[in-house]
């Protein structure tokens, strides 16, 4: 872990963020966990999987 992140965590511990920021961070975390869960249990849709396009060398 980067030492700068440790300094940020200590700042958050000493002066906790406001209610609005906590709600935003919590919403983002819940959305990320929800997306991970959907992908984990149902799989990734085939339509959203990118296909490799072979490179054609023009000479």
**Per residue in 11-45, pLDDT tens?**
989 998 899 999 999 999 999 999 999 988 988 87
pTM of the model: 0.59
Beta-carbon count within 10 A of 20 CB: 8
First-to-last alpha carbon distance for the chain, in angstroms, is 49
Domain boundaries, the chain: 18-42
54 versus 23: the higher-pLDDT residue is: 23
Return the pLDDT at 32.
95
């Amino acid at each position: 872990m980067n030492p700068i992140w440790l300094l940020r965590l200590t700042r958050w511990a000493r002066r906790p963020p406001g209610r609005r920021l906590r709600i935003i961070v919590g919403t983002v975390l819940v959305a990320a966990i929800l997306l991970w869960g959907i992908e984990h249990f149902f799989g990734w849709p085939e339509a959203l999987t990118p296909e490799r396009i072979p490179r054609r060398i023009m000479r």
